[in-house]
Structure 1
Amino acid sequence: MTIKAILFDMDGVLIDAKEWHYEALNKALDLFGMKISRFDHLTTFDGLPTKKKLEMLSKERHLPSELHDFINEMKQQYTMEIVHTQCKPQFIHEYALSSLKAEGYKIAVCSNSIRNTVTTMMDKAALSGYIDLMISNEDVTHGKPDPEMYQLAMKTLGFKPEECLIVEDNENGIKAAKAAGGHLLVVRDVHDTNYTNISSRIKTL
């Protein structure tokens, strides 16, 4: 079975945005004296949608649930401020996506972020032109670790799971990729997401 599509997670895979989400969420939480530590963020919250993070904080630290919408709104605003100043094109990613596109692969981005964040980051990183499909947490009922996002991408592109390679970096995304039945390439950070690594993974398949 040949690989026909490559589905990328966004944060930590194509965009080095983990710190940005951490900073933005903490800035919003700090309005109510509720900051989370970097350790907690990396071990517990990494890769989850903001809404899910806030639900967890309500359970664990009694964050009033009526504050969720406001904190979420502020977090998105703070994220956008960071994106507009820090999100820039990276040669390794432009090279990887343009080369894969030229070789005939379909390319999708599947992210637990909201749609506005996904489209803005992809535009700022100059990657939008190579992407056939973008899926955000607003397009599904359940974000990762649920496989729904990857299943939707496969269905929309018209490929079977075994025809898709999924590029992921964190536990929640890896769970989603495995449950969706796709092949997996796990990267440690955005620098691992390069043409050499992706094409050699495809060759092994």
Structure 2
Amino acid sequence: MTKFEQIKGFLFDLDGVIANTSAYHSIAWHQLADKLGVTWSDELANNLKGVGRMNSLNLILKYGNKENEYTEEQKEAFAKEKNDNYLKLLDHLDKSEILPGMEDFIKDLSDHHYLISLASSSKNSPMVLEKLDLAKYFDAKVDPATLKHGKPDPEIYTRAAEVLNLKPEECIGVEDASAGVKSINGSGAISLGIGDPRILNEADLNFKDTSEVTLTNIKRAMDMDLLEKAGVESK
């Protein structure tokens, strides 16, 4: 594993990592699933985390065995309807929706001269960052409209490092979804998963919630991992 001292950049997902907006996505998708006659469940909600808009719609349709019932034009209309509902839910978004500790963490990264980029599948993420008053800390953002593949494909995290003029190996990617962790791992960056370690078991580093995410804790976790690996190799 890369040493902590080699890290130069951090690559962030947004929903469920920086802010509580993932709950708004779930509400909007739930509304659409109900309209389409697809039974909503926690399993379906979890499978949509970190996944782009059209891929999420296709997952919902597949879940309800309806993937062949609609034309591409109809699917585009459903995706737009979901997004319109999501944007209405965001009307009153403010800094209170920032997850515990994340504003201080992002400020700390900036103060220590780490480069920061956004690797969100959501086309609305720049607007959300502005509403949260966090956009000023980000050196670059990946435009999801320019991507050919969604998570878990590594393209978005490869690009997130590239827009900072860094190698993925010099970066830590921060995610709360298994698809996102797979994406980070595929890019070659260090993956930091926030959430249940049983779900995010492929993450290089894991913290149960955002309040634990600090530079000190990340350094400690990376140092411990290197020591553990060195101990295994020396046996």
TM-score class, shorter-chain normalisation, is 0.7 to 0.9
Matches within 5 A, 1:12-51: 12-42=16-46, 44-51=47-54
Q: Could you list the structure 1 runs, at least 4 aligned residues long, displaced by more than 4 angstroms after superposition.
A: none
Aligned to 1:192: 209
| TM-score normalised according to structure 2 size | 0.77
Q: 1:184 to 1:58 in 2, by over 3 A?
A: closer
Q: 1:87 to 1:36 in 2, by over 3 A?
A: farther
1:165 aligned counterpart, secondary structure: strand
1:142 and 2:149 aligned: yes
Q: 1:198 to 1:84 in 2, by over 3 A?
A: farther
Higher relative contact order (CA 8 A, sep 6+): 1
Matches within 5 A, 1:12-161: 12-42=16-46, 44-60=47-63, 61-63=65-67, 64-66=69-71, 67-89=74-96, 90=98, 92-114=101-123, 117-161=124-168
CA-to-aligned-CA distance 1:3-22 (integer Å, 9 cap, x gap): 11001111111111222111
Whole-angstrom CA distance in 2 between matches of 1:138 and 1:86: 24
How far is the alpha carbon of 1:163 from its aligned partner?
0.9
Instruction: Please tell me the root mean square deviation across aligned C-alpha atoms, in Å.
Output: 2.3
How far is the alpha carbon of 1:201 from its aligned partner?
1.2
How far is the alpha carbon of 1:70 from its aligned partner?
1.1
Comparing 99-108 with 180-189, which one deviates more in the overlay? Answer: 180-189
Whole-angstrom CA distance in 2 between matches of 1:53 and 1:83: 19
Whole-angstrom CA distance in 1 between matches of 2:35 and 2:53: 16
Q: Percentage identity across aligned positions?
A: 26
How far is the alpha carbon of 1:69 from its aligned partner?
1.0
Unaligned segments of structure 1, at least 5 residues: none
CA contact (8 A) 1:3 1:202 kept: no
Unaligned segments of structure 2, at least 5 residues: 197-206, 224-235
